[in-house]
């Protein structure tokens, strides 16, 4: 069994804020993969289901961000799991908006939710770092993360959520590259490319409409063009040329 934790703050006031992108991620997984309805448990809200062959508990701590570890620790101990069975989805200031990175272990980089989880279960859990960008000034961070996503950000945010849902089964099976690839295909799908040797759009090709190159009409290729006639030498004498003018 595994626990997928989404970090955020409870209540409608914070529902659409950048700090709640972890909640948004597990909500999308629950919706797309037929998990049970959310119910109160472990100082949070939980939904149960399967991702592929793996049984997964989705958890949204309701303790507010800086006490998230209480909820995560309680759930982990109840199911007798290890930190390696826990994956946490959280907002990441140090990644550009829409970027997603997988990390295991390491520091909490000042994130209050991760700091609390470190205190309760240690650092050896997995994290899904969801980029929200940085406001540029340290003193602006608190207001920035608690502010709702702008209308202009809805496109990449929806793509990111779709990608996380697409890759959820791979993540549960331990296929981190497969998960990252699923996200990338949504956030930055490959552009369609033409085959090698083909002309790019706008390039002129002989025989095509709009080309500056003359083209042969049907059947002309089999007809050799007549060679220009060679100039002939005038062998008449000057007197003959003069006499010819008066004829």
Task: Please spell the DSSP secondary structure of 219-239, one letter per residue.
Answer: TGGGSPPPPPPPPPP----HH
Q: Alpha helix (H) ranges present in 141-212?
A: 141-145, 154-172, 176-187
**CA gyration radius, the chain:** 35
> What's residue 69's pLDDT?
98
Residue 144 and residue 137: Cα distance in Å, rounded? 10
pLDDT of residue 235: 53
* pLDDT tens digits along 213-231: 444 444 444 444 444 444 4
pLDDT digits (tens, 9 = 90+) for 162-216: 999 999 999 999 999 999 999 999 998 888 665 444 444 444 444 444 444 444 4
What is the reported pTM?
0.77
Looking at residue 245, its pLDDT comes to 54
Instruction: Output the pLDDT for position 99.
Output: 96
- Measured distance CA(154)–CA(93) in Å, rounded: 17
Please, which residues bridge with residue 4 across strands? 58, 87
Spatial separation of the C-alpha atoms in residues 199 and 190, rounded to whole Å:
20
Of 19, 33, 111, 126, the active-site residue reads 19
Banded model confidence at residue 239, pLDDT cuts 50, 70, 90: low
- The residues spanned by each domain of the chain are 2-187
> Which tens digit of pLDDT belongs to each residue from 94-123?
999 999 999 999 999 999 999 999 999 999
Active site residue 19: yes
For 177, phi then psi, to 5°, come to -60, -35
Architecture of the domain delimited by 2-187: 3-Layer(aba) Sandwich (3.40)
> 121, 76 in Cβ contact below 8 A?
yes
Q: Which residues pair with 26 in a beta bridge?
A: none
């Amino acid at each position: 069994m595994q626990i997928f934790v989404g970090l955020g703050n409870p209540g409608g006031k914070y529902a659409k804020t950048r700090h709640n992108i972890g909640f948004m991620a597990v909500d999308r997984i629950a919706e797309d993969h037929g998990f049970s309805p959310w119910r109160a448990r472990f100082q949070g809200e939980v939904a149960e289901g399967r991702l592929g062959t793996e049984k997964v508990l989705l958890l949204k701590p309701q303790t507010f961000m800086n006490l998230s570890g209480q909820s995560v620790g309680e759930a982990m101990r109840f199911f007798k799991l290890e930190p390696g069975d826990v994956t946490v989805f959280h907002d990441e200031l140090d990644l550009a908006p829409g970027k997603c990175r997988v990390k295991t272990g390491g520091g909490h980089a000042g994130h209050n939710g991760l700091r609390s989880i470190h205190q309760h279960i240690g650092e050896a859990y997995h994290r899904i770092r969801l980029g929200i960008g940085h406001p540029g000034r340290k003193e602006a961070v608190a207001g920035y993360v608690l502010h709702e996503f702008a209308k202009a950000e809805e496109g990449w945010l929806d793509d990111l959520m779709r990608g996380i849902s697409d890759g959820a089964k791979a993540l549960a099976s331990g296929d981190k590259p497969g998960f990252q690839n699923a996200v990338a295909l949504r956030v930055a799908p490959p552009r369609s490319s033409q085959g090698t040797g083909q002309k790019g759009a706008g390039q002129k090709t002989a025989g095509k409409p709009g080309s500056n190159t003359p083209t042969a009409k049907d059947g002309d290729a089999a007809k050799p063009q007549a060679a220009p006639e060679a100039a002939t030498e005038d062998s008449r004498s000057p007197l003959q040329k003069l006499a010819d003018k008066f004829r």
